[in-house]
């Protein structure tokens, strides 16, 4: 290839470009990025997933049971855990929690709390203990005088003297059996947090936030995905049940086979955005459940108002009812919402066309009327019937060959409507006779290299049209390797941060997102395939850039690239990512992506010459230009 990059004539790139998508799937909120270490801390349940004692075990002969007491901790958390000691029990009695498939113990400050009810004058002991050796790594003693007539909250901190060798550890809380002999104490909302990202209370796991920060994202699409929709009535994602003190959050049955605690709620999502300095792309419920139940035209106004209330809660002055509610919870300063998506995957044949006939128009008109500056995104790309000003959301899960075939998809899009690529991923390998994904077949466990290269080509296609693409986010983002519902995922993990898996696609995105083109430039001198590229400048970095991915070449692709106004002797940095095999992938303890950076010098004609191997992703950046 002999490419000449034109000095102008391209298009200005959307400021979002690369971002994140989050929904609680794969134990990615509870058991994932939400740093709470205690699993099932408040025995939350619903008719779908009734309250249970998962993750709890008695210690020293205690008998654990669920109780709905006449004095509950709160109206929304009616079920607590009774810990009964028999007359024969001597010494410390209590309960253990095994965490989200283990608890990571290191020498750092853990902050805990619990509520208790029952007559007791003594002390509690909280300890982090090995499940295998019974070794105690750290403990705290909490003096207490509790009563059977009310719930009392206790806080504690715990700093282990030593790190545990693995995450097979439990939190154990005990009390003096003699002081309650033959009787019992009731416990609720038993919590333990490690240090969190940027020290947020009720915050996020540091390693996973750092993995996200490493992607240099610009936005976070939240809180779904399917999870905002709810499986069936009445279990939509109720924003106003995810705010305020934890004891006032009921939780809900999520759409991914488990109850959500909603400890990671609306405000925590906004903090997440603040901490990564990224824009929220806030999804509001659009009147459609996953079982295809649709809210009728006559009843929809309630939900439109519900979305407006959510926006007032986030952005309204403290003189408004919901702005005042926000201030009363401790956040007087408004958040900023510039992007709102109406629903998730409301493609037009779902809900009998109701999205186009009344649901989207009603939401659009109300939100646009109240907040004309907000970019409103339909959750489909078939936005035509709605409004000239609406954006759309395109999702693509497929196989490598098919995704590479979509390289020019965005060249041919309806340019009246910018689109978000809210979800995409290669989920299955190439297979003869299979163009797209087969949903009834197994998907790959992890992103794999040829798929990652195909994703890069798809994204290069998007970058070439980046004036009309709001941004792109891989989905799903997270996977707890102990239990999950959807693979492949961008980042996988266990309780032990040393086991984090940054996938092949994570590495590709890190490179693509780190070096941003702010204005594309046309190129001439070659046809796409097996190399696919986009060229442009980055006005902030003052650089010229060429991003290239090579797919199915028979050998190295020779590249000569000349940029206007680049003189002989100018240097450029070329970073090339490769991997040992098309279907190689990252797993716990292995990282197969190889990054190689070299400095190139421009020839007398101002051109850079280099070779790109098959299945490579590269960025050439000429700084100071």
Indicate the residue whose CB is closest to ligand AHR. 225
**What is the sign of the dihedral through the CA atoms of 253, 258, 261 and 265?**
negative
Nearer to ligand AHR, 166 or 445 (CB): 445
Nearer to ligand AHR, 138 or 223 (CB): 223
If one asks whether residue 225 binds ligand AHR (CB under 6 A), the answer comes out as: yes
Nearer to ligand AHR, 187 or 493 (CB): 493
Run of H or E including 21: strand 20-21
If one asks whether residue 486 binds ligand AHR (CB under 6 A), the answer comes out as: yes
Q: Is 145 exposed, middle or buried (0-12, 13-18, 19+ CB in 10 A)?
A: exposed
Whether 500 and 207 have beta carbons less than 8 Å apart is answered as: yes
How many binding residues for ligand AHR (CB under 6 A)?
Answer: 10
Quick one: which of 72, 343, 476, 530 contacts ligand AHR (CB under 6 A)? 476
**Interatomic CA distance for residues 559 and 574, integer angstroms:** 12
Nearer to ligand AHR, 181 or 226 (CB): 226
Residue-wise DSSP of 149-200? TS-EEEEEEE--SS--SSS-EEEEEEEEGGGGTT-EEEEEEEEEE--BGGG-
**Interatomic CA distance for residues 309 and 572, integer angstroms:** 51
Least distance in Å: CB of 422 to ligand AHR? Answer: 8
- Interface with ligand AHR in residues 595-624 (CB under 6 A): none
Least distance in Å: CB of 204 to ligand AHR? Answer: 20
For 190-221, give one letter per residue: b (16+ CB within 10 A) or e.
bbbbbbbbeebebbbbbbbbebbebbbbbbbb
Q: Stretches 28-36, 179-187, 214-222, 224-232: which one binds ligand AHR (CB under 6 A)?
A: 224-232
**Interatomic CA distance for residues 122 and 143, integer angstroms:** 6
Nearer to ligand AHR, 459 or 475 (CB): 475
Binding mask 2-31 for ligand AHR (x = CB under 6 A): ---------------------x--------
Binding mask 426-465 for ligand AHR (x = CB under 6 A): ----------------------------------------
If one asks whether residue 258 binds ligand AHR (CB under 6 A), the answer comes out as: no
Cβ neighbours for 595, distance < 8 A, ≥ 6 positions apart:
507, 511, 575, 576, 577
**Interatomic CA distance for residues 557 and 535, integer angstroms:** 17
Run of H or E including 366: helix 360-370
Nearer to ligand AHR, 194 or 224 (CB): 224
CB atoms within 10 A of CB 486: 18
Token couple for 94? 């209590």
Least distance in Å: CB of 242 to ligand AHR? Answer: 18
Least distance in Å: CB of 423 to ligand AHR? Answer: 5
Q: Stretches 219-227, 268-276, 303-311, 312-320: which one binds ligand AHR (CB under 6 A)?
A: 219-227
If one asks whether residue 346 binds ligand AHR (CB under 6 A), the answer comes out as: no
Q: Is 110 exposed, middle or buried (0-12, 13-18, 19+ CB in 10 A)?
A: buried
Quick one: which of 86, 123, 181, 226 contacts ligand AHR (CB under 6 A)? 226
Q: Stretches 47-55, 188-196, 221-229, 234-242: which one binds ligand AHR (CB under 6 A)?
A: 221-229
Decide: helix, strand or coil at residue 2: strand
If one asks whether residue 345 binds ligand AHR (CB under 6 A), the answer comes out as: yes
**Interatomic CA distance for residues 575 and 598, integer angstroms:** 7
Quick one: which of 37, 459, 475, 534 contacts ligand AHR (CB under 6 A)? 475
Nearer to ligand AHR, 238 or 474 (CB): 474
Q: Stretches 37-45, 185-193, 222-230, 313-321: which one binds ligand AHR (CB under 6 A)?
A: 222-230
**Interatomic CA distance for residues 296 and 232, integer angstroms:** 15
Residues in contact with ligand AHR by the rule CB under 6 A = 23, 224-226, 344-345, 423, 475-476, 486
């Amino acid at each position: 290839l002999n490419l000449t990059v034109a000095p102008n004539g391209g298009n200005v790139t959307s400021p979002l470009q690369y971002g994140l998508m989050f929904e609680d799937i794969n134990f990615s909120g509870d058991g994932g990025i939400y740093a709470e270490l205690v699993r099932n801390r408040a025995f939350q349940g619903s008719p779908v997933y009734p309250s249970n004692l998962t993750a709890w075990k008695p210690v020293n002969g205690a008998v654990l049971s669920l109780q709905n007491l006449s004095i509950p901790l709160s109206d929304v958390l009616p079920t607590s855990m009774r810990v009964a000691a028999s007359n024969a029990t001597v010494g410390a009695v209590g309960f253990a929690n095994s965490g989200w498939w283990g608890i990571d113990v290191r020498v750092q400050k853990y902050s805990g709390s619990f509520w208790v009810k029952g007559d007791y004058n003594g002390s509690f002991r909280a300890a982090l203990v090995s499940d295998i050796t019974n070794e105690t790594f750290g403990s705290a003693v909490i003096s207490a005088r509790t009563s059977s007539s009310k719930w009392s909250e206790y806080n504690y901190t715990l700093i282990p003297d030593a790190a545990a060798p693995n995450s097979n550890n439990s939190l154990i809380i005990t009390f003096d059996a003699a002081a309650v002999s033959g009787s019992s104490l009731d416990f609720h909302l038993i919590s333990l947090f490690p240090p969190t990202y940027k020290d947020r209370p009720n915050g996020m796991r540091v390693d996973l936030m750092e993995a996200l920060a490493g992607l240099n994202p610009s936005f976070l699409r939240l809180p779904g995905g399917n999870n905002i929709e709810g499986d069936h009535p009445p279990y939509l994602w109720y924003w106003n049940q995810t705010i305020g003190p934890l004891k006032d959050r009921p939780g809900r049955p999520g759409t991914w086979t488990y109850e959500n605690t909603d400890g990671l709620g609306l405000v925590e999502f906004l903090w997440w955005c603040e901490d990564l300095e990224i824009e929220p792309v806030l999804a509001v419920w659009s009147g459609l459940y996953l079982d295809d139940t649709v809210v009728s035209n006559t009843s929809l106004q309630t939900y439109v108002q519900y979305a407006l209330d959510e926006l007032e809660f986030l952005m309204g002055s403290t003189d408004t009812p919901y702005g005042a509610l926000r201030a009363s919870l401790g956040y007087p300063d408004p958040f900023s919402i510039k992007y709102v998506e109406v629903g998730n995957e409301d493609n037009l044949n779902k809900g009998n066309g109701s999205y186009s006939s009344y649901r989207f128009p009603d939401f659009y008109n109300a939100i646009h009327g109240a907040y004309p500056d907000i970019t409103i995104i339909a959750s489909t790309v078939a936005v035509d019937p709605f409004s000239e000003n609406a954006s759309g959301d395109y999702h693509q899960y497929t196989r490598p060959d098919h995704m590479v075939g979509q390289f020019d998809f965005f060249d041919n899009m309806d340019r009246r409507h910018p689109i978000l690529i809210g979800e995409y991923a290669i989920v299955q390998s190439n297979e003869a006779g299979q163009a797209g994904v087969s949903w009834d077949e197994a998907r790959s466990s992890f992103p794999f290299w040829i798929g990652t290269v195909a994703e890069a080509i798809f994204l290069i296609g998007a970058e070439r049209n980046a004036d009309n693409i709001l941004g792109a986010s891989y989905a799903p983002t997270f996977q707890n390797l102990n239990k999950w519902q959807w693979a492949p995922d961008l980042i996988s993990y266990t309780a032990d941060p040393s086991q984090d898996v940054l996938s092949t696609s994570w590495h590709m995105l890190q490179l693509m997102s780190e070096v941003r083109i702010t204005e594309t430039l046309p190129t001439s001198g070659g046809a796409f395939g097996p190399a696919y590229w986009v060229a442009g400048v980055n006005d902030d970095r003052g650089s010229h850039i060429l991003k290239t991915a090579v797919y199915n070449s028979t050998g190295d692709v020779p590249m000569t690239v000349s940029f206007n106004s680049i003189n002989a002797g100018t240097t450029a940095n070329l970073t090339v990512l490769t991997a040992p095999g098309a279907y190689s992938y990252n797993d716990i303890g292995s990282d197969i992506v190889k990054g190689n950076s070299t400095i190139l010098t421009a020839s007398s004609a101002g051109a850079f010459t280099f070779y790109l191997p098959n299945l490579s992703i590269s960025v050439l950046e000429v700084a100071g230009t």
